Amino acid sequence: TFILHMLFTPSLVYAGAYNIAFMPAIKRGLNFIQRKHIYFVALYFLFAVLWLLNLIPLIGLVSVFLAYPILYGAIVVALE
Protein backbone atom coordinates (compact mmCIF):
# COMPACT_ATOMS: atom_id res chain seq x y z
CA THR A 1 0.00 0.00 0.00
CA PHE A 2 2.79 2.40 0.91
CA ILE A 3 4.69 1.84 -2.36
CA LEU A 4 1.53 2.19 -4.47
CA HIS A 5 0.60 5.36 -2.65
CA MET A 6 4.12 6.68 -3.20
CA LEU A 7 3.99 6.00 -6.93
CA PHE A 8 0.59 7.58 -7.49
CA THR A 9 0.78 10.64 -5.20
CA PRO A 10 2.14 12.92 -7.97
CA SER A 11 -0.61 11.68 -10.28
CA LEU A 12 -3.26 12.39 -7.66
CA VAL A 13 -1.90 15.88 -7.14
CA TYR A 14 -1.78 16.52 -10.89
CA ALA A 15 -5.37 15.36 -11.26
CA GLY A 16 -6.60 17.38 -8.31
CA ALA A 17 -4.58 20.57 -8.55
CA TYR A 18 -4.38 20.95 -12.32
CA ASN A 19 -7.63 19.21 -13.36
CA ILE A 20 -5.88 16.76 -15.70
CA ALA A 21 -7.51 13.53 -16.92
CA PHE A 22 -6.53 10.13 -15.51
CA MET A 23 -4.00 8.82 -18.04
CA PRO A 24 -2.17 12.12 -18.67
CA ALA A 25 -1.93 12.60 -14.89
CA ILE A 26 -0.34 9.18 -14.46
CA LYS A 27 2.11 9.86 -17.32
CA ARG A 28 3.08 13.24 -15.88
CA GLY A 29 3.36 11.83 -12.37
CA LEU A 30 5.70 9.04 -13.43
CA ASN A 31 7.67 11.50 -15.55
CA PHE A 32 8.03 13.75 -12.50
CA ILE A 33 9.36 10.84 -10.44
CA GLN A 34 11.85 10.08 -13.19
CA ARG A 35 13.03 13.69 -13.67
CA LYS A 36 13.13 14.91 -10.06
CA HIS A 37 13.48 11.68 -8.12
CA ILE A 38 15.69 13.07 -5.34
CA TYR A 39 13.28 15.93 -4.63
CA PHE A 40 10.34 13.52 -4.78
CA VAL A 41 11.92 11.04 -2.36
CA ALA A 42 12.66 13.83 0.12
CA LEU A 43 9.08 15.11 -0.03
CA TYR A 44 7.67 11.62 0.20
CA PHE A 45 9.85 10.86 3.21
CA LEU A 46 8.25 13.83 4.96
CA PHE A 47 4.85 12.57 3.83
CA ALA A 48 5.62 9.14 5.32
CA VAL A 49 6.59 10.72 8.64
CA LEU A 50 3.28 12.59 8.69
CA TRP A 51 1.49 9.39 7.82
CA LEU A 52 3.05 7.72 10.86
CA LEU A 53 2.21 10.68 13.07
CA ASN A 54 -1.47 9.99 12.43
CA LEU A 55 -1.13 7.00 14.74
CA ILE A 56 -0.43 9.29 17.72
CA PRO A 57 -3.80 10.72 18.80
CA LEU A 58 -3.19 14.42 19.53
CA ILE A 59 -0.18 14.88 17.27
CA GLY A 60 -2.04 13.20 14.41
CA LEU A 61 -4.83 15.74 14.66
CA VAL A 62 -2.37 18.63 14.50
CA SER A 63 -0.54 17.07 11.56
CA VAL A 64 -3.75 16.68 9.55
CA PHE A 65 -4.73 20.33 9.90
CA LEU A 66 -1.31 22.00 9.83
CA ALA A 67 1.36 19.83 8.27
CA TYR A 68 -0.58 18.10 5.47
CA PRO A 69 -1.65 21.35 3.74
CA ILE A 70 1.91 22.65 3.86
CA LEU A 71 3.32 19.40 2.49
CA TYR A 72 0.74 19.10 -0.28
CA GLY A 73 1.43 22.73 -1.16
CA ALA A 74 5.12 21.88 -1.49
CA ILE A 75 4.24 18.93 -3.74
CA VAL A 76 2.05 21.16 -5.93
CA VAL A 77 4.87 23.69 -6.24
CA ALA A 78 7.32 20.90 -7.12
CA LEU A 79 5.04 19.65 -9.89
CA GLU A 80 4.80 23.03 -11.64
Average pLDDT over residues 59-73: 88
State the pLDDT at residue 27: 92
State the pLDDT at residue 3: 80
Give residue 21's identity as a one-letter amino acid code. A
Average pLDDT over residues 22-35: 90
Q: By C-alpha distance, which of 31, 11, 32 is closest to 22?
A: 11
pTM: 0.73
What band does 24 get if pLDDT is binned at 50, 70 and 90?
very high
Share of the chain residues as helix, strand and coil, in percent rounded to the nearest 5: 90, 0, 10
